[in-house]
């Protein structure tokens, strides 16, 4: 029901003219002083970044049209489709593998939630970034849709070109709007770490074999 409501809201936003969409974005910039994926998606009365990307070709192009220039590297904006395909391809491989072992699996694009035998797994891409002369940090952000269950963080290598590894954690670990993984603190996630797709797929298959009533978030 929630997902159907989100689709209807998206269709409503698409009825706005280009000027109306850009005006809402400009007013948000004046109010917040900056723009980002999180700021836009978390503001009531403003369409999601997907609406701006669909209408103007990219979020960066919408920024350009209102005269907004970011002070930091916005490489992720230009590579948004590339990053989205990593999530969708990972989900497709998981769905195919899970169905072969008799599990009911379905992936909901847009919200990036994989449901396996009634257990929700939110797929999140953890891109690498770093400040000057600092160790890299991998970050995942909380989304409006975060059902109880698990989060599959897909970590990319430092150039953000290939998948590095996977961290399968319970949603209760996402206590704030974002969760960061740093080299110095990765030992805290040792119990959730999986070095390969095959390893994390086996872990998810183990969760899928549990009846929904008996599922417990791993500690």
Asked whether residue 219 is assigned to any structural domain, the reply reads: no
Decide which of 74, 104, 119 is a domain's last residue: 74
Asked whether residue 145 is assigned to any structural domain, the reply reads: yes
Q: Which domain holds residue 187?
A: 79-214
Q: How many domains does the chain have?
A: 2
The answer to whether residues 56 and 131 belong to one domain is no
Top pLDDT among 5 and 175 is at 175
Q: What is the pTM of this model?
A: 0.66
* Interior angle at CA 26, CA 177 and CA 2, nearest 5: 45
Asked whether residue 113 is assigned to any structural domain, the reply reads: yes
Residue 9 reports pLDDT greater than 70? no
Q: pLDDT value at position 212?
A: 53
Q: pLDDT value at position 116?
A: 94
Residue 194 reports pLDDT greater than 60? yes
The answer to whether residues 47 and 105 belong to one domain is no
Q: pLDDT confidence of 2, banded at 50, 70, 90?
A: low
Asked whether residue 16 is assigned to any structural domain, the reply reads: yes
Residue 165 reports pLDDT greater than 80? yes
Residue 35 reports pLDDT greater than 80? yes
Tell me the pLDDT tens digit for each residue of 120-152: 999 999 988 876 667 888 988 877 767 889 999
**End-to-end Cα separation, the chain, in angstroms:** 30
Average pLDDT of the residues in 80-103:
91
Asked whether residue 30 is assigned to any structural domain, the reply reads: yes
Cβ–Cβ under 8 Å, residues 150 and 121: yes
Whole-number Å distance between alpha carbons of 22 and 73:
22
Average pLDDT of the residues in 153-177:
91
């Amino acid at each position: 029901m929630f997902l159907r409501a989100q689709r209807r809201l998206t269709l409503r936003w698409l009825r706005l003219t280009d000027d109306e969409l850009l005006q809402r974005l400009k007013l948000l910039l004046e109010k917040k002083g900056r723009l980002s994926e999180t700021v836009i998606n978390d503001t009531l009365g403003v369409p999601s970044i997907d609406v701006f990307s669909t209408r103007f070709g990219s979020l960066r192009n919408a920024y350009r049209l209102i005269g907004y220039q970011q002070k930091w590297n916005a490489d992720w904006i230009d590579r948004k489709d590339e990053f989205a395909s990593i999530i969708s391809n990972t989900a497709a491989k998981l769905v195919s593998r899970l169905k072969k072992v008799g599990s009911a699996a379905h992936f909901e694009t847009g919200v990036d939630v994989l449901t396996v035998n009634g257990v929700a797994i939110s797929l999140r891409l953890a891109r690498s970034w770093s400040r000057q002369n600092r160790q890299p940090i991998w970050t995942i952000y909380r989304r409006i849709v975060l059902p109880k269950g698990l989060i599959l963080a897909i970590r990319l290598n430092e150039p953000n070109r290939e998948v590095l590894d996977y961290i399968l954690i319970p949603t209760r670990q996402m206590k704030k709007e974002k969760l960061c993984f740093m080299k110095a603190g990765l030992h805290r996630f040792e119990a959730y770490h999986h070095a390969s797709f095959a390893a994390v797929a086996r872990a998810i298959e183990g969760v899928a074999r549990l009846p929904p009533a008996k599922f417990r978030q791993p500690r």
